[in-house]
Structure 1
Amino acid sequence: MTWWSRPKIANIIKKTFASSSSDYVDPLKCAFAIQSGIFLGFVVRHRGIEIEPKKIKAILNMQPPRELKDLRKLQGKLAYIRRFISNLSGRIQPFSKLMKKGTPFVWDEECQNGFDSIKRYLLNPPVLAAPVKGHLLILYIATQPASIGALLAQHNDEGKEVACYYLSRTMVGAEQNYSPIEKLCLALIFALKKLRHYMLAHQIQLIARADPIRYVLSQPVLTGRLGKWALLMMEYDITFVPQKTIKGKALAEFLAAHPVPDDSPLITNLPDEEIFTAELQEQWELYFDGASRKDVNPDGTPRRRAGAGLVFKTPQGGVIYHSFSLLKEECSNNEAEYEALIFGLLLALFMEARSLRARGDSQLIIRQINNIYEVRKPELVPYYTVVRRLMDKFEHIEVIHVPRSKNAPADALAKLAAALRKIGVNPSSITSSMALYLKILSKDANYSGDFPHTSTRPVSSSSGLMGKRSYFGALIRVKPIKFSKKSTMEYAIHDNFKHQPPAPLHSTVLSWPFNAWGIDVIGLIDPPSSRGHRFILAATDYFSKWAEVVPLREVKSSDVINFLERHIIYRFGVPHRITSDNAKAFKSQKIYRFMEKYKIKWNYSTGYYPQANGMAEAFNKTLSKILKKTVDKHQRDWHDRLYEALWAYRVTVRTPTQATPYSLVYGSEAVLPLEIQLPSLRVAIHNEIT
């Protein structure tokens, strides 16, 4: 801020009033060359902007609120000086529970602590400086579990960093479920929107614990809120600087008002703090469970039976189920859990999964694998060793505990496998998953081929039993038959081949596309468009939800026929049936002749049951909502906005079909303008190919 001398100010005033003889100055209302003054409730001085002392005194002298009315008075006073208080939303967070409707007003210790923290802060209020054009702006952002905050600062002429503006707000709804880096993005977008008039005129230096700009721009496809955020960030000149490389009083005060929670998952000590990368790997998920149950052999002797259940979830959303009977003698429940996990890891390696998240409901096994508990039972030590070796083969793997209710599919598969009854099987000759793994490592004679095996084949055990090895090497079938070439062919019959004899192919008759439409009239619309349109004639396809509309000054039978021919028949073919209400435009001799010409069946809904044409009514409601949000304040340009609204409807996923009308009609999604401005993956691939 530049402060002029008294002679210079006097010269400017003299020239200003010399240009007009009719202007005069009231000495009671004007003051020039003053050192400080009160403007709009704030004290403006040469060193900056301060809070008026009487406003601070009014808050310091307030007693703790006793009712909701007192609390609203306090919040009103704080809202007026909110730009001076760092993390105001975080400080008054305890007050929010008292503002809910129907909640009894109980001023507890948490509310009193927040009230006291505000009073302590106002004992030494900050002095804010006005941003100077041409100087770099410094933007600090921080997040807390329930609020986000920002500080706008700048270096003055003396090189000292001074605060210009404090921002904060409470996160609502789904925002509290964002990841830590997405919360930083939200804080940045909040600051850019609130301080846009400052940001556009300056270069911005962003200081945070991680780089939200790099995270957003590194996404392979920018859709949803990330696409909106990226488009908004491109408007500003922002440079990211790691937080730990900055020192200053403003940063220290800002961080003191935004303490990092103890359980914050964000890592501050990065190997390379100048670069923030977000590598996206295809994450596989594995749910495993083992079950052991007591059983009785045919001869009356007791024994234990065990089973393993696996549920895989692929990165594309597919689900794979596996269950195995574990025929190991006296297999405990903990051993069955380990067996299930080993089978799952072997299968995941075969499917070339490099990033895996395994979930089990055995807290003991999970904590032993994560080295929280010590493995003390000798029979579990070999299992633990094999699991740790298999885990080393993955690039990223984590094994976490889930409640039994969330592991129900794997638990059901394990119990089912344990209940299966094997007849004529010698349990001692069956290889467990751990023994199978050790055989693979030592290249046992009974196992040929590389791990893991990719096809089923018969395997002979030492006792002459025949077993069938699955594609990852587990023995899942046995049969007391002598190993021979003939028996091998018998087992090959049951391999993954189609044994149905060849038959001639028959062509399938395609269904009638766009066979049913619903048609309706929207109007009378007030105010009319600038071209005199007062009605909208709309038609919606029952299957794809595709819609066609046209604005009209009045709706006649001839207008309906022209609309159906030009927008429906000549584009999508002749429909089989059309449903409408009993409007006069739909019931006339012209319409009857039109129906006879194209052999169209026309159904009319009655006033007693308007739901018969409910789909058309639903589209009318959606279209009206879109138009209300897009028209200007005069509301006379809705005929121009009509086709923009129709485009938005066609490229939006509809709830009944879980797809966009555009994709159901044309077989792929439309290329949106955002994909051209920020090239998506398919646009980038197309440009490289062409």
Structure 2
Amino acid sequence: MGLVNFYSKFCVNMSDILKPLYNLLKKNSTWKWSDECNFAFNKIKKVLSSAPALAHYSPELPLVLAVDSSPYGLGAVLLQREPDGTERAVSCASRTLNDAESNYSQLDKEALAIVYGVTKHHHYLYGRHFTLRSDHQALSYIFGKNKGIPVTAASRLQRYAVKLAAYDFNVEFVRSAQNCYADALSRLPLETNKKVHGSNDSKECSYLHFVEESFPVSFREIKAEVQKDRVLSKIYGYVMFGWWPARVLNEEELPFFRRKDNLHIEHGCLVWGYRLVIPVRLRKDILMELHAGHPGIVKMKQIARNYVWWDGIDGDIEQAARSCGACETQRAQPPPAPLHVWPWPEEPWSRLNVDFLGPFNHKYYFVVVDAHSKWIEVEKVPNTSAVAVEHCLRQIFARFGLPKRIISDNGPPFSSAEFGMYLKRNGISHTLIPPYHPASNGAAENAVRTVKRVLKKALVEQEDDMKALSRFLFTYRNSEHSTTQREPAVALLGRRLRGRLDLLRPDTAQLVASAQHAAQQRAPAAAAARGHAPGDPVLMRDYSKWGSKWAEGKIVEKSGPVTYSVKDNNGHVHKRHIDQLLNDKKKQSRYSFTDLKPDDTQNIADSYTREELGEPGDNGDGGESWEDADTLLEGEAGLAAGGGGSVQECVRPRRDAATRCLEKIKEHRV
């Protein structure tokens, strides 16, 4: 009746023809199929299959292909949309499902109806854009242009998508009540040869046959267990009849509800995409088969993703792999942990890393590294006994002192009771690294590797090993370390080691001595010879009172090269530097020559030329001759040599010449 009502606008006297059938639908009416009903039924079929219900195909008008499926048939109607908006049928098609197709899930049946309707009307649709109308909403996402076929979709849906890729269409979802004409054809299919439509049945089952050959559990066992499983039996019904609840009834059905668009049924088994859904009772057997050959967790998951699925399969695979005893005994090491460095000691020679090098060229070497300064000590030992280790450490500790901690591996000399007692007596704590983990003693291992390279180079050059080691250690200790940015010698000793290259630089001590000697040479002779004798009146620097800076005093004694004891007028004795003393000119003659020798004054007086003294008569004193000037100089020199003579006590006609002469003598006195 829905099909008839849809096309009633294109038929004449439709209500009169259908009157006997309408009477059967009235309330309280007794169902009785009479001859009138039979006549009306046959007549309406003729009306629907003839003009004006059917329309001629027009390439200018839009096309709509409506499809639908039922549990036992397929229906398709090709519609043509008229300019007034009405849709008229151009062609109708339907057929019955074969035995294999009747076992399809509702999703697959709806997809099969699409493929059937498109291929049936290929000569109308190919090369034209049309609207594909279906009442199955999932197909609008799977075959729609915006989504595309999912990667996990079943192989059947993927084949359908390949066929439909040759056509240009958009999918339109409608409710079942609006798709009544296609629904009627799917529920009233024509009898067809089932063998013809079932000719591809072997291809549809080939995948499950392959799974059966690959696993000891056959799909027949899975089919039986699906019906017994409490959850899967409900999901099987949802997929079979195409009805899913509007909301999830319990948490166990939620994973299947999220995958409902890709779930279908093959040979009574639930299939998600191309993976069989395994019931609970058979999952242990599947896990044992996945772990055959003891593959790892990753490989087990890769194999499982090609065959089976259930909710929580990844966690079950991980648990099965971890619970395998054989795998647990032979499992690989975990990835390396993040690097954890030893804390840098703030004090030098507080933590030492020790290790043995050898046997190298039938010799053993004991290597010690200071963790603070990176200073390396290498000692040749006859063997690797605890006695040899103690002997080396005593010599090293005698030079640098006792450390706080020693880091070593678990070798016999380091783990012996004798070595432990030696460290305990000296108050040194001992840390043993984990066995077979040399990276924990990385400082010593790096030093051993470096020293070994030096020994190999010495062996190539046929050089004495200890001589080569000494040269290397000297250069290493004077070179800046990449970690500390300081030389090991500076970090440990506070100075660089003096080497032959230092000879290229001038000696600082020699530079200072030369500078001091040059300063003494440049100093005035008067300053170098300045001094005072006991009893000389002087002015000393006064720091005890304000006002005058100088106080009168008398030299008591010379207490040092440049220091004097001076008594003031009050009888107090003070200690003063020569720079804090001045001659008291009030209490002594203008010029004192007590420090001059007669020969010195005579030589100085003779050195004056006539030009320095001026021509006779220039001063206006009476025109004395040069002989008078000479007599004057000799007399003044004699006074100076006699000790205590003063110019003020002599009256001379050439006062200015004598004054200049004595001034010069004062500047050159020794």
TM-score (norm 1): 0.23
Q: Which has the higher helix share?
A: 2
TM-score (norm 2): 0.24
Structure number, greater radius of gyration: 2
